[in-house]
A and B are shown apart, each in its own frame.
Chain A
Amino acid sequence: MRKNFIKREYKNFKGEILEIPGRTAAFFFLLTLCLLPILSQHPYLLLVLTYMNIYAIYAASWDVLGGYTGQFSMGQGAFFGVAAYSAGLLNIHLGVPFWLTIPCGAIVGVASGLIIALPALKIRGVYFSLVSLAYPIILTGFVFAFSNITGGEMGLSGITAISNDRIVTYYISLVIMIISVLTMWKFTDANSKAFRIGIVLQAIREDEISARCSGINTINYKLMAFGVSAFFAGIAGGLYVHVIRIIGPSTLELMWSFNPIIWTIFGGMGSIGGAVAGVFILYPFMEVLRIIPEFRMLIFAGLIIGIILFMPEGIISWARDKIERECPRCKIINYVTRQRCRACDANISSGRIFK
C-alpha cells in the first residue's frame, strides 16, 4: 500500500514537473534556495537572499495585475508602502509582533488596493497606468502631513526583527515566498482545472469588451485581481519592514513602483516565473556591481536596454522557447530534445505532425 503510494506520487511528480523543462528548472531552483544556507552562512549573502525573496513576492504581485490582468499599474509601491507603514507603525506604537503585523499590513494593503481599483473600473490602458502613479505620491503627502505619527521625511526606526538569527529570517522569508509565489501561480494559471480565474483574467487583458460579452462580470474579476495583487504586495511590504527595520517615505518613491515593473518585464511579463527570475537575475547582478559604484546604475540601464532590444518578451520567455516545444497535436509541453511527443507520440522534431 505504502509502496504504491510512493510510486504514484513519484509518477505524478515525474509527469507534472520533471517532464516540463520550465517546471524542472523552477523546482531545482527552489531546491537550491532551500539548501543554500548549508553551503554558506555568510550574513551578507543571507541578507541579500532574504531581500530577493521579498522582492520576488513583490514582482510577482505586480505581474498578477500588470502581466495577467492587463492593468498596467505604475503605483504598486502604494500597496507595498501602505502595508510597510501599517506593519511598522503597529509594531512601533503598539508593540504587535511580526507574525501579526504582516497579515495586518497585507489586509490594509488589500483595502488600499480596492480603493485604488475604484477609478480603475472606469478607466483603462494608459489612463490607468498614469493615474495609478498618483497614489504613492498622494500617500507620501499623508506621510508628511502626519509626521508626528509616521516620522515624516526621516522615517522611524526600531522595528523588531523577525529573528536575531539570519538563517531563521532567511528561511521564514523563503517559506513565505514559496507559498505566495505558488499561490499566485495557481491563481493565474490559465490551464488550471481547479480555478477558472486565470483564464478569465487573461481574457480581460486581451479584450475586456469581449470578455463582458461572454457573460463574465469583469468588474468582480478585476477587483479580485487587485485584491490578490495588493495582498501579496502587502505581505512583501510587511516582511521588508521587519527585515530592514526602518520605515521611511522611500517605499513610496517613484522608483520603488517602477522596480517590480523593471524586474517583471525583464524576466517576462505574464508569467509568475518570469517575475521571480527577473528578481533573481537582476538583483544579484546589481549587488555584484557595487564594486564599481559610480557606474552601477549606468551599467544596469545599459543591460536592460541591451537585453530588451534582443528579447522584447523577456529573458524567461526567450529561454523557454529554447528548451520547450509544444506538441502541435495535443498541446502538451515537451523537452526540445524529444523526437516524439510524450503523450500522443506525434513527431515533433521537425515541426510537422505527421510523416
Chain B
Amino acid sequence: MIETIIIRGAMVGAVYASLAVGFSLIFGVARIINLAHTAFFMLAAYFMFSLVNNFSLNFFLLIILSVSLVTILGTICYKLFLERIREHEGAVLLVTVALAIAIQECILLFYGSLYKSLAPFVPGNAEFLGVTIPWQELIILGVTIICLIGLLLFLYRTNCGLALRVTAQDRETANLMGINVQRICLLSISIAIGLAGLAGAIVGPIYTLEPLMWAHPLVMMFAAVILGGLGSIKGSFIGAFILGYTEVLVVFLAPEGSFIKGPVAMGIMVLILLIKREGLFGISFEEERL
C-alpha cells in the first residue's frame, strides 16, 4: 500500500511536472496563458494510440514519432494563430481555449467518444526490494525525470538556455542585446509542447483515453504552477510533485476519492496562497507586486 502510494505519487507528480514546467516556460518567455497545453498532451496520447495499433515498431521510436508530430503541430498553431495577436491578452486566451476545443472535437470525430486504453509498453512487474512495481510506471517516471533534467541542463548550462531565461526576465532588453525574441518564443513553445507531448505519449497505458481527458490535468497543472510560484521552473516542479502525492493519497484513502481529487488540490493551492502569496518559490515581479 505505502510503496504503491509512493511510486504512484511520484509517477503522477512527474507527469504533472512535465506539463507544469512547460506551461511555466511558455508563460515566462512568450507571456501566453496556454489553455491548450493539456490538449496537446491528449493529442500525443491519441497519436500514440494510432501508432501502436498501426505500426509494430519499437515503442521508443513510436514515442519519438508522436512527440515530434505534436511538437510540429503545436508550433504551427502558434505561428498561424497566436503570433500576430500576442499583444491582445484576452484574444490570446480565447484562441487557446478555442484551440483546445478544436483538438477535442477533432479527436471526437476521428476516434469517437468511447474510452480507449493502450497495452503497457513493457508488460509485467519489476521486483525491487520485495516491492512489485509495474514497469510502465517506472518507464513514465524515468523518462519524464530524464527529460526534465535535460531541460534544466539546457536552460542553465547552454547559451540558448541563457537567452530563454533572459527573455523571460526582460523582453525588451533581451531584444536590444541582439536576441531574436520571436525565435526564442517559438523555441520555448516547441520545447514546452514537446514536453507535454512526451508526457501524453507515455501515459497512454495508465490513463484512460477520452476526448475530455485534458480538463483534469489542466486544472492540476494550473494548481502546480501557482503553488510553486509563477515564473519559477523549480517551483512548478516541486508543486507538481506535491499535488501528485496529494491526488494519489486522496484517491487511495478517501471514499469517492476520484470525485474530490481536483477540489482537494485546489483547496491546498488556495490555502498556500493565502499564507504565502507568491507561491512556494515564486519571484514576485515588480509589476505583479502590490
Question: Are A301 and B263 also in contact (CB < 8 A) when A130-B225, A131-B270 are?
Answer: no
Interface check A141, CB cutoff 8 A: yes
- A312 contacts which chain B residues (CB < 8 A)? 85, 88, 91
The secondary structure that dominates the B interface is: helix
Q: Which of A121-129, A175-183, A225-233 contacts B (4 or more CB under 8 A)?
A: A121-129
| Interchain CB contact under 8 A, B94 and A145 | no
| Interchain CB contact under 8 A, B33 and A126 | yes
Interface check B97, CB cutoff 8 A: yes
CB B239 to nearest CB in A, in angstroms, measures: 12
- Residue of A118, A126, A138 near B230 (CB, 8 A) is A126
- B161 contacts which chain A residues (CB < 8 A)? none
- B225 contacts which chain A residues (CB < 8 A)? 130
Interface check B157, CB cutoff 8 A: no
CB A224 to nearest CB in B, in angstroms, measures: 18
Question: Are A301 and B101 also in contact (CB < 8 A) when A133-B222, A254-B219 are?
Answer: yes
| Interchain CB contact under 8 A, B90 and A269 | yes
Question: Are A125 and B260 also in contact (CB < 8 A) when A119-B270, A262-B94, A266-B94 are?
Answer: no
Q: Which residues 81-105 in B have Cβ within 8 Å of A in the complex?
A: 81, 84-85, 88-91, 93-95, 97-99, 101-102, 104-105
Interface check B264, CB cutoff 8 A: yes
**Nearest residue, chain A, Cβ from B89:** A72
| Interchain CB contact under 8 A, B102 and A294 | no
Mask of B136-157 contacts with A, CB within 8 angstroms, 1/0 = 0000000000000000000000
Interface check B109, CB cutoff 8 A: yes
Q: Which of A29-37, A99-107, A302-310, A328-336 contacts B (4 or more CB under 8 A)?
A: A302-310
Q: CA–CA, A197 to B196, complex, Å?
A: 44
- A138 contacts which chain B residues (CB < 8 A)? 263, 266-267, 270
Q: Which residues 299-329 in A have Cβ within 8 Å of B in the complex?
A: 300-302, 304-305, 308-309, 312-313
Q: CA–CA, A294 to B211, complex, Å?
A: 13
| Interchain CB contact under 8 A, B262 and A126 | no
Interface check B3, CB cutoff 8 A: no
- A269 contacts which chain B residues (CB < 8 A)? 90
- A258 contacts which chain B residues (CB < 8 A)? 97
- A209 contacts which chain B residues (CB < 8 A)? 290
Number of interface residues of B (CB under 8 A): 46
Question: Are A261 and B288 also in contact (CB < 8 A) when A119-B274, A138-B270, A297-B105 are?
Answer: no
Q: CA–CA, A208 to B267, complex, Å?
A: 28
| Interchain CB contact under 8 A, A141 and B262 | yes
- A82 contacts which chain B residues (CB < 8 A)? none
- A294 contacts which chain B residues (CB < 8 A)? 108-109
- A135 contacts which chain B residues (CB < 8 A)? 266
Q: Which residues 130-146 in A have Cβ within 8 Å of B in the complex?
A: 130-131, 133-135, 137-142, 144-145
Mask of A134-163 contacts with B, CB within 8 angstroms, 1/0 = 110111111011000000010000000000
Question: Are A308 and B266 also in contact (CB < 8 A) when A119-B273, A298-B105, A301-B101 are?
Answer: no
Measured as residues with beta carbon below 8 angstroms from the partner, the interface class of chain A is 35 or more
- B88 contacts which chain A residues (CB < 8 A)? 312-313
Question: Are A137 and B273 also in contact (CB < 8 A) when A124-B288, A298-B102 are?
Answer: no
**Nearest residue, chain B, Cβ from A208:** B290
Question: Are A301 and B266 also in contact (CB < 8 A) when A130-B226, A312-B88 are?
Answer: no
CB A133 to nearest CB in B, in angstroms, measures: 6
Interface check A265, CB cutoff 8 A: yes
- A130 contacts which chain B residues (CB < 8 A)? 33, 222, 225-226, 230
Q: Which residues 104-118 in B have Cβ within 8 Å of A in the complex?
A: 104-106, 108-109
Interface check B256, CB cutoff 8 A: yes
Q: CA–CA, A135 to B222, complex, Å?
A: 13
| Interchain CB contact under 8 A, A308 and B105 | no
| Interchain CB contact under 8 A, A297 and B273 | no
CB A169 to nearest CB in B, in angstroms, measures: 30
| Interchain CB contact under 8 A, A305 and B99 | yes
Question: Are A309 and B90 also in contact (CB < 8 A) when A300-B101, A301-B102 are?
Answer: no
Q: CA–CA, A304 to B108, complex, Å?
A: 19
- Residue of A140, A145, A297 near B101 (CB, 8 A) is A297
CB A154 to nearest CB in B, in angstroms, measures: 12
Q: CA–CA, A268 to B219, complex, Å?
A: 27
- A265 contacts which chain B residues (CB < 8 A)? 90-91, 93-94
**Nearest residue, chain B, Cβ from A304:** B98
Interface residues, chain B, CB within 8 Å of chain A? Answer: 27, 33, 81, 84-85, 88-91, 93-95, 97-99, 101-102, 104-106, 108-109, 215, 218-219, 222-223, 225-226, 230, 256, 259-260, 262-264, 266-267, 269-270, 273-274, 277, 287-288, 290
With A269-B90, A297-B102, A309-B95 given, name 6 new contacts (CB 8 A).
A118-B274, A122-B277, A123-B290, A141-B260, A266-B94, A313-B91
Q: Give me the 6 closest cross-chain CB pairs, A-B, nearest first.
A: A141-B263, A134-B266, A301-B102, A298-B105, A312-B91, A312-B88
List 17 contacting pairs A-B, 8 Å CB cutoff, sorted by A: A119-B270, A122-B273, A125-B287, A125-B288, A127-B230, A134-B223, A141-B263, A141-B266, A254-B219, A297-B104, A301-B99, A301-B101, A301-B105, A302-B98, A305-B102, A308-B95, A309-B81
